[in-house]
Chains A and B, each alone.
Chain A
Amino acid sequence: MLRVESVVMSFGGFKAVNGANLHVGAGEIVAVIGPNGAGKTTLFNLITGHLAPDSGRILFKGREIGGLSPHVICRKGITRSFQVVNIFSQLTVFENVQIAVLSRERKTYDIFSKVEGMAAEEVERTLRSVGLHDKRNVESVLLSHGDQKVLEIAVALSGKPELLILDEPTAGMAPEETETCIRLIRKLSDEFGLTILFCEHDMGLVFDIAQRVMVMVRGGTVVQGSCEEVRRNTEVQDAYLGGSA
């Protein structure tokens, strides 16, 4: 479904992504791991159009998407969450999801309808399924960090993506929040057959939910394969797992 081929992207002279390769098949859960500053976030930004690659190809369903605008890429079926929470903080939980639904339905230019209550059924259903329904009228800046991260996933989901990208979905979460979040990600994959690409520092979590893993170091792909293959790979053990896996 998604194929990244020898992509290079530099900030000034510094190659943050340097020849990365990645393949994500339909329905898979794929994790990207790598030390801090390896270029994971930058790679995701390249895929979602927030940055443009210097060279290399990014193919989604066989079509080149490298360098397109974020809103265009979203329409093609990729939505995401960010490493640092990125929601409409001054709007309510309900409105956050509602805008995403309206955008997907291409109703954002509608100046005649009353937005109040529009798409309410779907919004409420989504909020119920992620467990934020009872907080639907709360201004989202007031939510706990964990709830905000979950809300962002709900917003991303409301675009009905084919590929969902999550940048450190459980970072900064309390242990029980992490549990809930993992269950949510599993559910998304199991129930909706969603393809998910995510990155995480928590190795337990990665090997727990990912079907395949891509290891990134200094902007390049060291190896990608099943969890077993990656765990066995000595290079990975040296570079990242500290030889302890």
Chain B
Amino acid sequence: MKHRSLVATLAVLGLLCALPPFLPRFYVYIASIVLLTGLLATSLNLAIGYGGLYQFHHTVFYGVGAYGTALMLTRAGAPAPVAMIAGPLAAALLSLVMGVICVRLSKLYFGMLQISLGSLVWVTVYRWYSFTGGDDGIHGVPLPDLIASAKGSYYYTLAVTALSLLAMRRIAGSPFGKTLQGIRDNPVRSEAIGVDVKRHKLAALVIAGFFGGVAGSLFVVVDTSAFPDMMFWTYSLEVLIMCLLGGMYTFWGPFVGSSTLVLLRVFVSVYTQYWGLILGTILSLVIIFLPDGMLGFFARRFRKGEVRGA
């Protein structure tokens, strides 16, 4: 069993490595977007699926990760490795600050306050022309040659995504991950056995924010830009739908869900501009027919796999 999952992982990685030579440039770009969006959705799932935290405005951390990296590269002229880590760290820090404010609230109130605070961040970025470029965003971010080409950025994205997923998988399967699942299941019982529920939630938020920021910094590498729409609240909703679609109670569900949506969007936008309509339809269908998401559905079907994220 263990052996098999290792082989499967290596096979998928091998396939992804072999992909670029056979794909047109545009699709290499799309493949990179699929990867980093998968990372983004998985990081959200750490908070919402494992921790039961209503992280309704996750893309704020994605955006801040992107802006952090982009600003370091353009304004500060920092070396690329520093910029790459600065974005996610900024996201983690913001997550900590917002978490401290929100974490005492429960469920929906947590989510609503997070949307408000996140929108505050968005407005700041959107309006602060002199620093963030305002609604234009930042374009043409200079990158080292190695990761400047479509292929280079793809391989970089693949490597960072793979490592991040590995780390998150590890965290999900750690005592901390299990404790988080316990808190999601029953916070009162958790407290009664000595777990400091608020602190664990906060830690989960910071970790989720960090990896959301990593996805953001990858976006800068792939797209050489950062713009306010990345952290507009509707995009948070979209990432939430990715998790729902793929299955929140599985580790890989959100990745499957996000890949599906990203690819769908690419192909659908050739024919129509009513993406919102299609997204809404998908959401309704998922809620009605696949309450556990795609992976949850299959896991249930075949009585194996990793329902509720072991």
Interface residues of A (CB under 8 A from B): 48, 50, 69-71, 74-75, 79-80, 82, 86-91, 95, 98-100, 102-104, 107-116, 118, 155-156, 158-159
Is the beta-carbon distance between B193 and A158 smaller than 8 angstroms?
Answer: yes
Decide if the interface of chain A is mainly helix, strand, loop or mixed: loop
- Which of B174, B177, B310 is packed against the most chain A CB atoms within 10 Å? B174
**Which B residue sits closest to A89, measured CB to CB?**
B185
Q: How far is the CA of A99 from the CA of B200 in the complex (A)?
A: 13
Is the beta-carbon distance between A109 and B194 smaller than 8 angstroms?
Answer: no
Q: How far is the CA of A106 from the CA of B67 in the complex (A)?
A: 37
Is B170 engaged at the interface, CB distance under 8 Å to the other chain? yes
**Which B residue sits closest to A116, measured CB to CB?**
B173
Contact of A113 among B175, B181, B188, B200 (CB under 8 A): B175
If A110-B176, A111-B171, A111-B177 touch, whether A71 touches B197 (CB-CB below 8 Å) is yes
Size category, B interface: 20 to 34
Nearest Cβ on chain B to A200's Cβ, whole angstroms? 20
Name 6 extra pairs, CB < 8 A, besides A70-B188, A113-B174, A158-B193. Answer: A79-B193, A88-B185, A99-B195, A102-B179, A108-B200, A109-B200
Q: How far is the CA of A108 from the CA of B179 in the complex (A)?
A: 6
**Which A residue sits closest to B177, measured CB to CB?**
A115
Q: How far is the CA of A95 from the CA of B200 in the complex (A)?
A: 18
Is B135 engaged at the interface, CB distance under 8 Å to the other chain? no
Contact of B186 among A69, A86, A98, A156 (CB under 8 A): A86
Nearest Cβ on chain A to B305's Cβ, whole angstroms? 15
Is the beta-carbon distance between B193 and A159 smaller than 8 angstroms?
Answer: yes
Is the beta-carbon distance between B181 and A91 smaller than 8 angstroms?
Answer: yes
Q: How far is the CA of A128 from the CA of B310 in the complex (A)?
A: 23
**Which A residue sits closest to B168, measured CB to CB?**
A111
Is B178 engaged at the interface, CB distance under 8 Å to the other chain? yes
Q: How far is the CA of A80 from the CA of B174 in the complex (A)?
A: 26
Is B191 engaged at the interface, CB distance under 8 Å to the other chain? yes
If A86-B186, A99-B182, A103-B179 touch, whether A115 touches B173 (CB-CB below 8 Å) is yes
Is B308 engaged at the interface, CB distance under 8 Å to the other chain? yes
If A103-B195, A111-B170 touch, whether A90 touches B308 (CB-CB below 8 Å) is yes
The 3 closest A-B pairs by CB, nearest first: A74-B194, A108-B179, A70-B191
Is B196 engaged at the interface, CB distance under 8 Å to the other chain? yes
Is B203 engaged at the interface, CB distance under 8 Å to the other chain? yes
Is the beta-carbon distance between A70 and B192 smaller than 8 angstroms?
Answer: yes
Q: How far is the CA of A103 from the CA of B170 in the complex (A)?
A: 19
- Which of A109, A110, A111 is packed against the most chain B CB atoms within 10 Å? A111
Is the beta-carbon distance between A155 and B173 smaller than 8 angstroms?
Answer: no
Is B189 engaged at the interface, CB distance under 8 Å to the other chain? yes
**Which A residue sits closest to B196, measured CB to CB?**
A71
Q: How far is the CA of A22 from the CA of B200 in the complex (A)?
A: 34
Contact residues in B for A118 (Cβ distance below 8 Å) = 175
Contact residues in A for B182 (Cβ distance below 8 Å) = 88, 91, 95, 99
Contact residues in B for A102 (Cβ distance below 8 Å) = 175, 178-179
Contact of B194 among A50, A75, A114 (CB under 8 A): A75
Q: Which of B176-225 contact A (CB under 8 A)?
A: 176-179, 181-182, 185-186, 188-197, 200, 203, 207
If A90-B308, A112-B170 touch, whether A159 touches B194 (CB-CB below 8 Å) is yes
Is the beta-carbon distance between A99 and B170 smaller than 8 angstroms?
Answer: no
